[in-house]
Amino acid sequence: MAMTDTPRIVVGVPREHRAGETRVALSPTALPQITQAGFDVVIEAGAGDRAGYPDATFTARGARVGTRDEAFGTDVVVQVNVMDADASSADLSRLRPGQVVIGAVAPFARPEVVKAVAATGATLFALELVPRTTRAQSMDILSSQAAVAGYKAVLTAANALPKMFPLLTTAAGTIAPAKVFIVGAGVAGLAAIATSRRLGALVEAYDVRPAAREEVESLGARFVELPLETGQEAGSGGYATQLSEEAIRKQQELMATTVAASDVVITTAQVQGSTAPVIITTEMVRGMAPGSVIIDLAAEQGGNCEPTVAGETVDVDGVRVIGVVNLPGAIPVHASQLFGKNVANFLGLMVVDGRFDPGVDDAVMKESVVASGGDVVNNRVREALGLERLPEPEPPAPAPVTDDAPVPEEAAT
């Protein structure tokens, strides 16, 4: 619903300055939805260049191109990486009380960025904290960017592997298909399975959540069974939870044979708000054939593979362990398109009855806000900063039952 009877709210899109970042927080494809909702858009000159979107593609959809100061002088600022993931960013001085900032924050890994934004008086929404519910799927940047990362991880592995992925029968003989093992069957893992299968590989996958088996098999992969009690029968908000040290050790022992028989291993296991679990030990890597490849999608969170170094390729007895970082940034056109759609849908929640209201009483907004009113308001982020917890809101009181209350339909049958 477009906003009425009030000045149009302006959304600013600064150019990303974080090293290696090629994405832009809003792509031209997202602009019609935003402008129809009643927003105007100012984009910093050149903000979309590295994503394949020159300034003209934005102005053609109704945006205005301006300076960095103009992009930060708006009512709402959207970024792929808030403050370029730097708590000492010079852009902090451009923020002001009452302004809204939206983007990826990594609030548990970089709580100091949240604290720095809070000190400016701006309201900060961390899109990583959007709940994984059906209603919020269209705003979930973790899922949209993970799908891109899973796809690109397979292409990276295929490029590094000194073998071909598909079965190939020729007059000179038959080439056996590559064996790919995917650890973690979340969004990234499922995208990796589908891409590996399209390239013709034999694919196996494992996840601590037994419920993932159906999704794995629906994509044509074999689900690896490990006789291990994980306590993950029902995920929490779509995320796996941290296993105990004993469970991880047992998992490693049981998985070693599968890893050794694989040409490619792609690890995707991450735990929200914690370092990534080490699933593949150095000893397990040494058990793989020389020339094999491991792609660690959790490298920036510490890595699922013991030898992983973020941003580097480590050779372990002829096995290449590739600690990939920002894989979505390697496909910036579509990564930006998906990210921008997530942002547009999130902004839509702030339009209520035709008016802009960033404090709207909405579960998605409440879970994703991390700074407001000059303070850090998310208790998990406060704990990471060593701050005292804020009192949790009281749950709503149950409605009183009266004699004339209507009988629920299921009780009347």
First-to-final CA distance of the chain? 40
Tell me whether residue 404 is in a domain.
Answer: no
* 253 in a structural domain: yes
User: For residues 299 and 324, is the Cβ–Cβ distance under 8 A?
Assistant: yes
Residue 270 lies in a domain: yes
Residue type, 262: S
Residue 252's pLDDT is what?
A: 76
Claim to verify: residue 83 and residue 123 sit in the same structural domain: yes
Which domain does 288 fall in, by range?
146-330
Q: Catalytic pick from 137, 197, 198, 362?
A: 137
Assess if residue 406 is contained within a domain. no
- Judgement on whether residues 298 and 356 belong to the same structural domain of the protein: no
Calculate the alpha carbon distances from 270 to 46, 90, 240, 267, 299 in Å.
34, 31, 8, 9, 10
Q: Is 53 a catalytic residue?
A: no
**What is the amino acid identity at position 6?**
T
Catalytic residue selected from 15, 27, 68, 140: 140
Neighbours of 233 (CB within 10 A): 10
How would you write the pLDDT of the chain (413 residues) with one tens digit per residue?
566 555 789 999 999 999 999 999 999 999 999 999 999 999 999 999 999 999 999 999 999 999 999 999 999 999 999 999 999 999 999 999 999 999 999 999 999 999 999 999 999 999 999 998 999 999 999 999 999 999 999 999 999 999 999 999 999 999 999 999 999 999 999 999 999 999 999 999 999 888 899 999 999 999 998 876 655 554 434 455 566 677 777 777 889 999 999 999 999 998 877 889 999 999 999 999 999 999 999 999 999 999 999 999 999 999 999 999 999 999 999 999 999 999 999 999 999 888 999 999 999 999 999 999 999 999 999 999 999 999 976 655 655 554 444 433 443 33
Q: What's the domain count of the chain?
A: 2
Q: How many CB atoms lie within 10 A of CB 23?
A: 30
Distances from the Cα of 55 to the Cα of 108, 344, 385, 405, angstroms: 34, 19, 39, 60
Residues 49, 50, 86, 239: which is the catalytic one? 239
Residue showing tokens 């705003």: 139
What is the value of pTM for the model shown?
0.89
Residue 394 is predicted with a pLDDT of: 64
CA distances from 7 to 10, 38, 43, 68, 262 (A): 9, 9, 19, 22, 59
User: Does the active-site annotation cover 301?
Assistant: no
Clarify whether residues 151 and 290 are in a common domain: yes
Question: Looking at the domain assignment, is residue 65 inside a domain?
Answer: yes
Q: 117 CB contacts (<8 Å, ≥6 apart)? A: 82, 83, 92, 95, 101, 124, 371
CATH number for the domain including 171? 3.40.50.720
Contact 180, 196 (CB under 8 A): yes
The answer to whether residues 177 and 302 belong to one domain is yes
Active-site hit among 50, 64, 132, 222: 132
How far is Cα 310 from Cα 300, in angstroms, rounded to an integer?
6
Instruction: Tell me, yes or no, whether 391 lies in a domain.
Output: no
Asked if residue 394 is part of any domain, the answer here is no
pLDDT of residue 410: 40
**Catalytic-role residue among 79, 89, 143, 372:** 143
Q: Considering the domain boundaries, does residue 55 fall inside one? A: yes
Same domain, residue pair 128 and 156: no
Which DSSP category does 79 fall into?
A: E
Give percent helix, percent strand, percent coil of the chain, each to the nearest 5: 35, 20, 45
Residue listed under structure tokens 């920002």: 326
Catalytic, 110? Answer no
